[in-house]
Amino acid sequence: MSKVPPAHAVLEGAYRCFCRNGYRHTTISDIVDEAQLSRPTVYKYAGSKDEAFGKVVQALLERASAAATRAASAADTPHEKVLAVLEVKLELAIRLWQDSPAHAYELLSTASTQLPELVAGYVDGLSDLIASALAEVVPDTARQATSVLLTFTRGLEDDLRDVDAARRELAMGVHMITTGALSRAESLPA
């Protein structure tokens, strides 16, 4: 059986603690206990609680960004690319709400306030993927449509009590918004 690298064990332990206790009520001692490593090892790989939180958020967003890029590359049409990227965004929120129903809102708001550059970089990367897909057809309005699509998806993330409904609404909303944006290209004079 292969041993889990300490850095990975620390981040996974920190994630579980943040999900179980919330950000405010998680301590380094909790992370030490959860990771089943020594305190010096946890400090070596995580640093302070704030640094551990930052590393956990960074890892989650990096994985989601990579998944969004792969999903967009695998899709054929602009509509499919947009939907694929936004599905990755929604699934990240769903995972957090499922892993931490009692603390998901606190964790999301803490990430936004304590790590705004990290969250903004993630959203900017998704925005670039979506705008690039839409620019294939409507270069003049791709950024505007992207903004609407991201705002719509963010609204869905606020109420994930019924994840299947959120997924259906995402697909329907993306279809409606992209159809409107893409049909604009057909109605523009040549």
Instruction: Write the DSSP assignment of the chain as a string of letters.
Output: -PPPPHHHHHHHHHHHHHHHH-STT--HHHHHHHHTS-HHHHHHHH-SHHHHHHHHHHHHHHHHHHHHHHHHHH--SHHHHHHHHHHHHHHHHHHHHHH-TTTHHHHHHHHHHH-HHHHHHHHHHHHHHHHHHHHTT-TTTHHHHHHHHHHHHHHHHT--SSHHHHHHHHHHHHHHHHHHHHHHHHHS--
**What pLDDT digit, counting tens, does each position of 141-174 carry?**
999 999 999 999 999 999 899 999 999 999 999 9
Note the pLDDT of residue 3. 83
Note the pLDDT of residue 188. 47
pTM of the model: 0.90
**What pLDDT digit, counting tens, does each position of 107-119 carry?**
999 999 999 999 9
| CATH node for 49-187 | 1.10.357
